[in-house]
Amino acid sequence: MKFDTIPSLTLPKIGFGTWKIGGGSFPDPKVDTVSTAALHSAIKVGYTHFDTAEMYAAGHAEELLGQAVASSQIKREAFFITSKVMPAHLEYDQVIQSCEKSLQRLQTEYIDLYLIHWPASDMKLVETFRALNKLVKDGKVKHLGVSNFNLKLLKQSQQLSETPIVTNQVPYSLNDRSYVKNGMLEYCQQNDIFFTAYSPVDEGKLRSTKTLEEIAKAHHVTSYQIVLAWVISHPRIITIPMSANPSHIQENFEAAEIELTKTELDMLEKLA
């Protein structure tokens, strides 16, 4: 696995996302068996960064992740767990309560990285960060970040956070480069902030092209792996694809080792 580093943190280039683990917006017991198998498969393959949220399956994704980590017989310190507070819970007391509940569901004493999942139109960032800063001081959270923030909100967050904002988690793929066009990627790269790409293969709906297929064939891998390799070829970009398919879980992990040539990278940059 390749890693990327900012002054306060080093993370694997490819982590494991847990959206749809345990259900969608609500828990779905029918997918528990497949979800649990996916988490155990990811741990066995070697993933160490797991991304979840209180919003995923209304907390059930955190529960299943906590169970998988606890039963892995691997030390908690070997994992890096990211979770998120939902936009309806951004008042001071709500942030504290949300984190406490996430800690209980994850069966852990601390969360490595805690994010504001989405900005809310009526949020008072001063109060939100007063709570987030307290969580860091109390040792409940190690690092802070945001998700789906624009540049203005990201800069405000940097001013309010007493510790470095280490990431902005946003959608990014060959077909979605909106956060490149709005200047977010460049800002993150210049200010030691991880640009965490979610939906890097458009939630499995990647549109294949002749160029993509030719590059994949040259490397004896899949088009999905080539796209992941392209995503993480950029400095300060990490990504968190999700799959419940053991073969795809393995392939996503192995995509970190693909070395694309400058010509291939240029060809992929031109695809949109």
Supply the residues annotated as catalytic: 56
Q: Given the structure tokens 């987030």, which residue do they identify?
A: 132
CA distance linking residue 113 with residue 255, whole number of Å: 24
Q: What is the DSSP string of 176-209?
A: --HHHHTSHHHHHHHTT-EEEEESTTGGGTPPP-
Strands of the chain, DSSP E: 3-6, 9-12, 16-17, 49-51, 80-85, 111-116, 141-147, 165-171, 194-198, 237-239
State the amino acid at position 162 in one-letter form: E
Q: Contact, 105 vs 62, CB < 8 A?
A: yes
Q: Given the structure tokens 């998988």, which residue do they identify?
A: 68
Closest to 83 (Cα-Cα) out of 70, 91, 108:
108
Q: Contact, 25 vs 53, CB < 8 A?
A: no
CA angle 43, 45, 47 (to 5 degrees): 55
Q: Contact, 74 vs 43, CB < 8 A?
A: yes
